[in-house]
Amino acid sequence: MGDIFDLLIGEISATHEFAKPYIKLLEELALKMEIIYLEGNHDFNLARFFQRVKIFNLQEQPLKLNLHTSKGKNTDFKNSFITLAHGDIFLSPPLQFALKSLRNHYLLVFLNFLN
């Protein structure tokens, strides 16, 4: 659901090193099962790190997913769905604006330069 990492931002190289072994593990796990990663306020602009893990940024959330059982025995879930989203989509408009501003590519490149 996002915020898996304390801080991982695509454009800020200082945030990458700590996450590398975990990114590798997620990619390996994605060979065996579908992994959906919902970006949050601590981890965003992540598509460049993953080839197999499906990344959804805040603008693509919430996700509407159909429910089914793996063996097809339980029909109680037929035509049922769940909605998944990182909690940041429910923040007040001023906070949403602030977080969206922090995701600005040019600002992040500048901050990376300062680092």
- For the segment 4-46, what is each residue's pLDDT rounded down to a tens digit? 888 999 999 999 999 999 999 999 999 999 999 999 889 999 9
Apex 23 CA angle, 10 and 106, nearest 5: 0
3-state secondary structure of 112: helix
The residues, any chain, with a CB within 8 Å of residue 100's CB and separated by 6 or more, are: 58
**Tokens linked to 72:** 């097809």
Residue 89's alpha-carbon distances to 13, 59, 100, in angstroms, are: 26, 9, 11
Q: Are 19 and 5 in contact (CB under 8 A)?
A: yes
Measure CA 60 to chain center.
Answer: 10
pLDDT mean across residues, the chain = 89
Whether pLDDT at 78 is above 80:
no
Q: Are 102 and 10 in contact (CB under 8 A)?
A: no
pTM strictly above 0.75: yes
Pairwise CA distance, residues 115 & 111, whole Å: 6
Report domain extents, the chain: 8-114
